[in-house]
C-alpha cells in the first residue's frame, strides 16, 4: 500500500507543476488538449504524427489540430484508423490496427532521431 501512496503523491506533485491551478478541477488531459488546440501560434513546432480512431469521441479534435499545424506550416503525418474505437492501440491482441499504429509510431520516432548521413550508403 505504501508503494501506491508514493506513486499517487508523485503524480500529484507532477500535475501541480505541469497544469495550472485553475485547470486542476478539470480533467488534466482535456485541459492540455484545449491549450494545444487553441494556441495562438503553431509555427516552429516539430513535425507531428497524429493518429485518430474513426469511432473516437476525440477524433474531431485530432483532425482540427492537424489542420491547425498544417496551416502554420508544420509537417504533419495524419492517419485515421477506420473502424477503430478510442484506445484501440492498447489492445494489440484484439486488433491488427493496433500493431500498425504502433509500427507507425516507432517508424516516425526512428526517423525523428536519425542523424544526418546515418543511412548513407
Q: How far apart are CA 28 and CA 26, in angstroms?
A: 6
SS3 content of the chain, % helix, strand, coil (to 5): 50, 15, 35
pLDDT for res 91: 93
Segment 94-100 shows an average pLDDT of 94
Residue 81: which residues within 8 A CB-CB, separation 6 or more? 51, 52, 53, 54, 88, 97, 100, 101
Beta bridge partners of 49: 77
For residue 55, the SS3 value is strand
pLDDT for res 44: 87
Is the model's pLDDT at 97 over the cut of 70?
A: yes
Q: Model pTM greater than 0.75?
A: no
For residue 54, the SS3 value is strand
What secondary structure letter does DSSP report for 115?
P
pLDDT for res 5: 56
pLDDT level of residue 1 (50, 70, 90 thresholds): very low
Tell me the per-residue pLDDT of 19-55, one tens digit each, with 9 for 90 and over: 555 555 455 555 545 555 556 788 888 899 999 999 9
Helical (H) or strand (E) element with 84: strand 76-85
Amino acid at each position: 500500500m505504501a508503494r501506491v501512496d508514493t506513486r499517487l503523491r508523485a503524480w500529484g506533485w507532477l500535475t501541480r507543476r505541469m497544469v495550472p491551478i485553475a485547470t486542476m478541477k478539470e480533467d488534466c488531459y482535456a485541459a492540455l488538449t484545449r491549450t494545444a488546440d487553441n494556441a495562438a501560434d503553431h509555427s516552429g513546432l516539430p513535425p507531428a504524427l497524429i493518429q485518430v480512431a474513426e469511432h473516437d469521441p476525440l477524433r474531431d479534435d485530432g483532425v482540427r489540430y492537424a489542420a491547425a499545424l498544417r496551416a502554420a506550416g508544420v509537417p504533419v503525418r495524419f492517419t485515421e484508423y477506420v473502424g477503430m474505437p478510442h484506445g484501440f492501440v492498447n489492445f494489440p491482441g484484439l486488433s491488427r490496427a493496433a500493431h500498425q499504429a504502433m509500427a507507425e509510431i516507432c517508424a516516425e520516432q526512428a526517423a525523428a532521431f536519425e542523424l544526418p548521413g546515418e543511412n548513407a550508403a
